[in-house]
Amino acid sequence: MSDVEAEVAGNLAAVRARIAAAAAEAERDPDEVTLIAVGKVQPVERVEAALAAGQRVFGENRVQEAQGKWPALRARYPDVELHLIGPLQSNKTREAVALFDVIQTVDRPKLAAELAKEMARQGRRPDCYVQVNTGEEPQKAGVLPADADAFIETCRVEHGLPLVGLMCIPPADEDPTLHFALLRELAKRHGLTRLSMGMSGDYEDAVRLGATHVRVGTAIFGARHYE
Ligand SMILES: *Cc1c(COP(=O)(O)O)cnc(C)c1O
């Protein structure tokens, strides 16, 4: 095993152990929580190390980066499940529907309409989440909480999207637990069973508050080095 393989495998085991402990504290079954490894910007060697350690669920936040990386890896690991967790432009829906198993960032009517059209065209129906901008931050994607009820109904009724859950990214400088609780209540109200919340700094809080999917990058792969 190379140094990188050992490091990534060790980090994965540590994160899994902390997820299990947080689930136990909340009297939840740890198997209810899926760890999404976020390999964006990381050298492909690190992503391959995670695959070698048995990790199969991954998140990417850019369609183009994912297109450059995953087709080749998937040929070797066909059971990979790929989640889009970054903003999606309406003109990239074709590529996104073709590549991803789950699209977590549905957040506006035009995008919902384009996704529905592409799904019909391709005969592929990736699970969808609505992203909620729980902190109402102007620079952040996601539907505002006040508009969420109507938007969720639009996705389901008007566009027939396979909507399964909600996703949020709390403001960096706020207590995330209030945001996680808000997301959970909203999901419950709509009978949505999946909650994508929690990142490297707060995934244990998210698990305690009901996350079914946590998106963890740095704690698995180390710091990202942007060019
Ligand atoms: C990058 C990213 C993550 C992972 O963040 P870390 O803090 O490195 O764990 C999670 N969710 C989204 C939407 C991201 O863009």
pLDDT in tens, 155-189: 999 999 999 999 999 999 999 999 999 999 999 99
User: Ligand 1: distance of its center to the CA of 23 in Å?
Assistant: 20
For residue 35, what pLDDT is reported?
A: 98
User: Does residue 73 surpass a pLDDT of 90?
Assistant: yes
193 exposure class (CB count in 10 Å sphere: 0-12, 13-18, 19+): exposed
- Domain 3-220 superfamily per CATH: Alanine racemase (3.20.20.10)
Mean pLDDT for the stretch of residues 118-131? 98
State the pLDDT confidence band at 103, using cuts at 50, 70 and 90. Answer: very high
- Does ligand 1 have an atom closer than 6 angstroms to the CB of 169? yes
For residue 225, what pLDDT is reported?
A: 87
CA-based nearest residue to 168, from 136, 133, 144: 133
For residue 181, what pLDDT is reported?
A: 98
30 exposure class (CB count in 10 Å sphere: 0-12, 13-18, 19+): middle
Ligand 1 nearest-atom number relative to CA 85: 13
Ligand 1 nearest-atom number relative to CA 215: 10
Q: Virtual CA dihedral for 33, 34, 35, 37, nearest 10 degrees?
A: -160
Give the 3-state secondary structure of residue 198: coil
User: Does residue 227 surpass a pLDDT of 80?
Assistant: no
Ligand 1 nearest-atom number relative to CA 216: 9
For residue 66, what pLDDT is reported?
A: 97
For residue 166, what pLDDT is reported?
A: 98
User: Ligand 1: distance of its center to the CA of 38 in Å?
Assistant: 6
Token pair recorded at residue 74: 């998937």
User: Ligand 1: distance of its center to the CA of 217 in Å?
Assistant: 6
- Does ligand 1 have an atom closer than 6 angstroms to the CB of 38? yes
- Does ligand 1 have an atom closer than 6 angstroms to the CB of 11? no
For the segment 185-214, what is each residue's pLDDT rounded down to a tens digit?
Answer: 999 999 999 999 999 999 999 999 999 999
For residue 14, what pLDDT is reported?
A: 98
Ligand 1 nearest-atom number relative to CA 104: 13
Contacts 24+ apart (CB under 8 A), 67-76: 67/95, 67/99, 69/39, 69/44, 70/99, 71/99, 73/44, 73/47, 73/48, 76/51
- Does ligand 1 have an atom closer than 6 angstroms to the CB of 216? yes
Q: Virtual CA dihedral for 182, 185, 186, 187, nearest 10 degrees?
A: 120
Q: Which residues contact 20 (CB under 8 A, 6 or more apart)?
A: 30
User: What does the mean pLDDT of the chain come to?
Assistant: 97
Ligand 1 nearest-atom number relative to CA 167: 13
Q: Whole-model pTM?
A: 0.97
* Contact between 64 and 53 (Cβ < 8 Å): no
CA-based nearest residue to 145, from 131, 134, 137, 156: 134
Q: How many CB atoms lie within 10 A of CB 195?
A: 25
What percent of the chain clears pLDDT 70, i.e. is strictly above it?
A: 100
User: Ligand 1: distance of its center to the CA of 120 in Å?
Assistant: 30
